[in-house]
Structures are given as C-alpha cells and as structure tokens.
Amino acid sequence: MLRITCRTLWMTNYVFPLAILSTLTLAFFVAGSATAQQPTPSDDQVNNIAKQLYCPVCENIPLDVCPTTACAEWRELIRQKLSAGWSEQQIKAYFVEQYGDRVLGTPPARGLNWLIYVIPPIAILAGAFILYRAVQSWHRPAQQGTQENTVPESPPNEYVARLEEELRNR
C-alpha cells in the first residue's frame, strides 16, 4: 500500500513548488542582467561622434585626434554616455550646453551662422555670371571691330614711297 506520511505531503506541497519558483526567479535575474548589460561602444563609434566635435581647449583640432589629456577624458565621457544609451544628438547637445556652439564641427544654421550656408552659393553664381559676361564681351569686339576700327589711309609718306619704288626696281 501507499504510505503517505506527513513529511511526504510537506515535500510535495511546499518544497517542489518552492524549488521551481526559486529556479524561475534565478533564471529571470540571470537573463535580465544579461540583456541589461550594454556592450561597450567601440572606438569607431566614439570617434564617429568625436570627429564631429572640436576640442574646447585647443583651437581648430577635432576631438578625435586631439592629443591632450582633456580630450582623452572627453572621448571617455562620450564612451560612457554611449554606454548609458545616449544618442549622438544628445551627446552633441550636452557638449554644446557645456562649451557652446564652437565645439560643433558644423555650426548650426541659426543667427548669423546661416550666412555660412548662403554666401558661398551666391558667390559662385555671381562669379559664373561675371565670367559669362566677360567671355561674351571678349567675343563681341572681334565680330564688330573689323568694320568700326578701320583707320583711314593717310597719304603715303615720301620716304615710304621712295622705298617702295626702289624695291620695285630691283
């Protein structure tokens, strides 16, 4: 016969469900910590953002090639922010907030900065127009100049007449 003791009932009612519950909980935490860990950003990802920023200390040196200790710290800060899940735009905004627009590789098109984007195309178009007009004026005198710029013949010089006569006699 089947002998059921108090201990058997306790193990089936409490220990096995507790063991299953603890195993599931442990599995949940292990899986959760594995998915929560973000991989460390590569140097390429850090340099991709750093080359769009300029060193706030040095003049006209991109952050990705600046050899100063401060720039190395800022590149590490970019790495930390990427690890924390920040986007490229958020990191740029952080640096602009800290150091101003001068850290950006391409200035934002606001205020007087928009002239940087407008003046070069206007200058190129104006230069092309001036060049077109110059070439057009260079061709115009060649076509009309043969009729207008004729010099009326002056009476022959006596010396030239004698010279031509001497040449004919030979």
Domain ranges within the chain, ordered by starting residue: 43-112
CATH class of 43-112: mainly alpha
User: What pTM was computed for the model?
Assistant: 0.47
**pLDDT tens digits, one per residue of 8-59:** 544 555 656 656 666 766 666 665 554 445 677 777 888 888 888 888 788 7
Q: Which residue has the tokens 């022959």?
A: 156
- Which phi and psi angles does 104 have, rounded to 5°? -80, 140
| Distance between CA atoms of residues 95 and 120, nearest Å | 28
Residue 35, SS3 per DSSP: helix
Give the chain's count of helices (H) and strands (E): 7, 0
| Distance between CA atoms of residues 105 and 112, nearest Å | 16
